[in-house]
Structure 1
Amino acid sequence: ASKYPWAAINITNADGSPVEGLGGVMVKEVGGLKVALVPVAQDTTPEVANAGDLRFLPTVDTAVAAAEKAREDGADIVVGVVQTDMSNDRKLIASHAFDVILSGDDHSYATAYDGVTAYVETSMDARFLSPVDLTVEIGQDDDGKRTIDWVPAFRFIDTASVTPDPETQAKVDEFQKQLDESLNVEIGTTEVPLDSRRNVVRAEESAMGNVIADAMRAATGAEIGFTNGGGIRADRTYDAGLKLTRRDILTELPFGNVTVMTELPGSQILAALENGVSQVEKGAGRFPQVSGISFAFDASAPAGSRVSEVMVGDQPLDLDKVYTVATNDYMLAGGDGYAALGGGKVIVNAGNGSLMANDVIDYIAATGKVTTGVEGRIRKLGGN
């Protein structure tokens, strides 16, 4: 339904052909200047999302080459419009191929200027915005060659204090009314505090993560429940005594993922846990929230050898034993780097599974309460 153009220079079809309707570098005339917009997507997309058979070329190399080509073609100002993490952002800044970089992906807020490139990272969900104003002077040098000089001015907008646009707010209210009729239905009371904040579900055991993983295990009868913290999205806390609604759960699990079940040997389960904590220092969404299993991890150890003390129920994980594992269809297909969850005998596939959100709603409604908080399923070692 969007009317604006979609663009990314590093996405192609599987055979390398252009994606229909996807634009590339755009050049706009502004105040006598040629401004090139270089749109680039995150090249790890196939690992962290369901990208189908689309190919993603290297983010930094593709972006820098396009920026240099735009400059050669006469662009006065080159702006990178990128969705990539801060490690790539830093490489793009260091390349000095761009005048301005407008970035997303990290869900944090940042501004920077090194005298060559102005940079902003504007948080998430339009909570904070950072418009960049460029004051540009067009002149000429002693040889009569045209010169472009500019300085940036950063502005900060906290949208919590912005008056809503009346037309947009009316449309929001219309949708809200429709949703309220089906979503503001109470399903139970939480007797313990729940926490789904991003920094928690992607780094440590979360009571909300426990509820979700428990529900998946209960729905399938699996020995182990396993979901990715990055799929838990409401980014909030719930006080003990709060009434939970269908809206709460669907806000936590907005992606429409399905609960599936597979059989896997303990060795692959261990590999899955290692993947889950391999990027905890980056706040990666692959961090696991679990049920029926407990473990410790040391984030200071090399990735791939961080996990220890794995228990299934009250027994140590047997690397040769086959266990039933409830997870979501995204992870079963290798999403978030979970290749280790594949290759087993699939008992419940995506076509036969239920929506995770529905499983959680049913699980809470069955007793009308949530009583399980943080209980030591995941323990941090090494002081991290």
Structure 2
Amino acid sequence: MPKRGNGETGRFSGWRAVAAACAACAVAALGAVAPAASAAELSIVFTSTMADIEPVEGEGGLANLATLLRTKRAEGNTLFLHGGASLTAGVLSTFDRGAHMIDLLNELQPDMMAVTKRDLGFGKDELTLRSYEARFPFVSATTIDRNTGKVMEGLEPSALLDTPVGKIGVVSAISPELTVQYIVPDIEVRPPATIAAEARALRAQGANYVVAILDNAPEAVDALRGEPAIDALLQLSATGKDVLEADKGKLFGVHVNVKGSAFVLRLDGDGKAPPALAGADIVPLAGLPPDPAMEKRVGVYLARLSELLDINIGTTATALDTRRAAVRTGENAFASLIADAMRGHFNTDVAFINGGNIRGNRQYEAGTVLTRRDIQRELPFRDTIIAVTLPGKALREALEVSAAGVDNQKGSFLHPSNMAVVYDLKQPAGSRVVSVTVGSKPLDPDVRYSVALPNYLAQGGDGYGMLKSPGAAPGSGGKLLWEIMAQHLTDRGTVSPRIDGRITER
């Protein structure tokens, strides 16, 4: 198994109620806040970012989460809030656009799911379809359809959930990077801090406690932490570690979920006055036994994947590292292998692949036999690769955009083929490209070069407006990236990708 990098119980929203029993589980406690005397207690379970159903050594997954939920529901009143970021980037999502995840989440019975930029990875229409399949509401107050000026079809701006400790309001904001990183021309993203107004509206509707979920928008944290109408602010983050901080009855959390985790909040209240925060825990899911029923459900999907993907296609004679930092901050052997395969397939002058296309977050030892499953896991998006012609000036501008995202490990970082780039990252953004050569010649700003690149980049995605090319559009031809890679490996049998100096830093 590969290793990855770093009263009534149940639901109260009116969708359905569940009663279950389970042995007690151990959790890592933050340190409880002194509870107020109350007539009822409520547990709020929160998690996010669980797109891949495949088991990974040392990590917890949906079956472990099911055990936690069953335990908490057996103990008493429980809400399950899902932070989203789970419908794309998984191996199976490439085939069904996340439908399997909705099927599995329906079994876990969340009271709501926040919508993140990642959940729109397959576009607006696919997310709307998933919302119709779900037996729980999708929530986002800031994802606006430009055609109607209202929240996108299939989404709700907020949720108001009845519980024995009072009404719990939930609001969420999607990351503004959605419109930069994804091709969603019909979507407008309002500033995340505007959900403060939605939180106040929930208070006016009778909410006793308000939870705000923030999709990877740290710039809005300070303003929202200071908003009196928000009691708990939970931010999703792609880097760092899980954090919970309680102060004066308010809660702030950062959920990274690198190893599979959940937050458990405990509230005490009488259903009239605002409930008191009695404690907050970070639960490492890997420490819980898997729920047999959910493990069986997941196993059905894994068996389907095995039929499709457990086919050997090649061997890597060298070690490979596809962890997030490795593919978003510098030259990477696996990314170079992909770029070279793209250029070879289209016979272009150069090729670009952005690090955000690579999602496996794994390490492979030298001598590893690679399967279709490995390639599908690493390259889960259904974007096609096309060949376009672009001036050298545009290529240099693109490399400047690439360099600007290194500090934040943005997925826009470009890996080239048949090109050598020297950066000076100490220089200000826009002045970090020192030199560029194509083959053995300096990049000529006036010469037009043939370039193989993802259709997504050719539409200006990830901030690459200078790469926008006529004719580039969803479904406008080309070949799926993972198919190019699978054929490249099959044709060669054994590959030996290495760091060869195509990206260096002064």
Q: TM-score, normalised by structure 2?
A: 0.69
Give the superposition deviation at 1:71. 2.9
Aligned residues: 372
Q: Which residue among 460, 465, 483 is the counterpart of 1:334? A: 460
Distance in 1, Cα, partners of 2:151 & 2:308: 41
Question: Equivalents in 2 of 1:205, 1:90: separation in Å?
Answer: 35
Q: Return the offset for 1:63.
A: 1.1
Q: Which amino acid aligns with 1:179?
A: L
Q: CA deviation at 1:129?
A: 1.7
**Deviation at 1:180?**
1.1
Please state how far the C-alpha of 1:116 moved relative to its aligned partner: 5.6
Q: Which residue of 2 aligns with 1:355?
A: 480
Equivalent residue for 2:376, pick from 250, 261, 265: 250
Say which of 55, 59, 79 aligns to 2:211: 79
d(CA) in 2 for partners of 1:349 and 1:78? 39
Q: Pairwise mapping of residues 2-17 of structure 1 onto structure 2 (< 5 A)?
A: 2-15=134-147, 16-17=149-150
Aligned to 2:383, the other structure's residue is in SS state: coil
Which residue does the alignment assign to 1:66? 198
Identity level (%): 30
Deviation readout 1:350-384 (Å, 9 max, x if unpaired): 53211000001111111111112111111123xxx
Give the drift of 1:213.
0.9
1:126 Cα deviation (Å)?
A: 7.0
* 1:286 paired residue number: 412
| TM superposition shift of 1:219 | 1.0
SS of the equivalent of 1:39 reads: strand
Greater Cα offset, 148-157 or 4-13: 148-157
Q: In 2, Cα distance between the equivalents of 1:199 and 1:96?
A: 37
Assess if the C-alpha contact under 8 Å between 2:379 and 2:481 holds in 1.
yes
Name the structure with the higher strand share: 1
- Quote the residue 1:24 is aligned against: 157
1:118 aligns to 2:243 (yes or no): no
Following TM superposition, by how much is the alpha carbon of 1:345 offset from its aligned partner in structure 2, in angstroms? 7.9
Cα separation, 2, equivalents of 1:178 and 1:83: 32
CA contact (8 A) 1:42 1:83 kept: yes
Asked if 1:104 is matched to 2:236, the reply is yes
**Alignment partners' CA distance in 1, 2:505 and 2:387:** 28
The residue number in structure 2 matching 1:380 is: 505
Change (3 A) 1:91 1:373: farther
Secondary structure of the residue aligned to 1:205 is coil
**8 Å Cα contact 2:412-2:462 kept in structure 1:** yes
Aligned residue for 2:329, secondary structure, equals coil
Q: Any idea what SS the aligned residue of 1:376 has?
A: coil
Measure the CA separation in 1 of the matches of 2:248 and 2:424: 40
1:194 to 320, 331, 335: 320
Partner of 1:141: none
Residues 141, 151 of structure 2: 8 Å contact kept: no
In the alignment, what sits opposite 1:169?
295
- Cross-structure match for 1:89: 221
Q: Which runs of 5+ in 1 are unaligned?
A: 139-145
8 Å Cα contact 1:118-1:152 kept in structure 2: no
Question: Quick check: 1:137–1:150 contact (8 Å CA) kept in 2?
Answer: no
| Cα distance in 2 for residues equivalent to 1:94 and 1:300 | 35
Give 3-state SS (helix, strand or coil) of 1:275's partner: helix
Read off the aligned partner of 1:110 and give its amino acid letter. V
The 1:14/1:149 distance shift into structure 2, 3 A limit, reads closer
Query: What CA RMSD, in Å, does the superposition of the two structures yield over aligned residues?
Result: 2.2
2:350 aligned partner: 224
Quote the offset at 1:333 in angstroms. 1.0
Partner SS, residue 63 of structure 1: helix
Select which of 325, 329, 332 maps to 1:203.
329
> For 1:39 and 1:87, how far apart are their aligned partners in 2?
15
- Supply the AA of the counterpart residue of 1:104: L
Rounded Cα–Cα distance in structure 2 between residues aligned with 1:343 and 1:324: 12
- Residue 297 (structure 1) aligned to one of 412, 417, 423: 423
Within 2, Cα distance between the matches of 1:114 and 1:262? 54
Task: Tell me if structure 2 keeps the 8 A contact 1:260–1:349.
Answer: no
1:132 Cα deviation (Å)? 2.2
Contact 2:321 2:362 in 1 (8 A): yes
Which residue number in structure 1 is paired with residue 364 of structure 2? 238
Note if contact 2:244-2:282 (Cα within 8 Å) is conserved in structure 1: no
TM-superposed CA distance for 1:19, in Å, is 2.5
Bigger shift: residues 215-224 or 32-41: 32-41
Structure 2 residue 284 is matched with structure 1 residue 151: no
Structure 1 distance, partners of 2:426, 2:387, is 32
Does structure 1 retain, via aligned residues, the 8 Å contact 2:321–2:332? yes
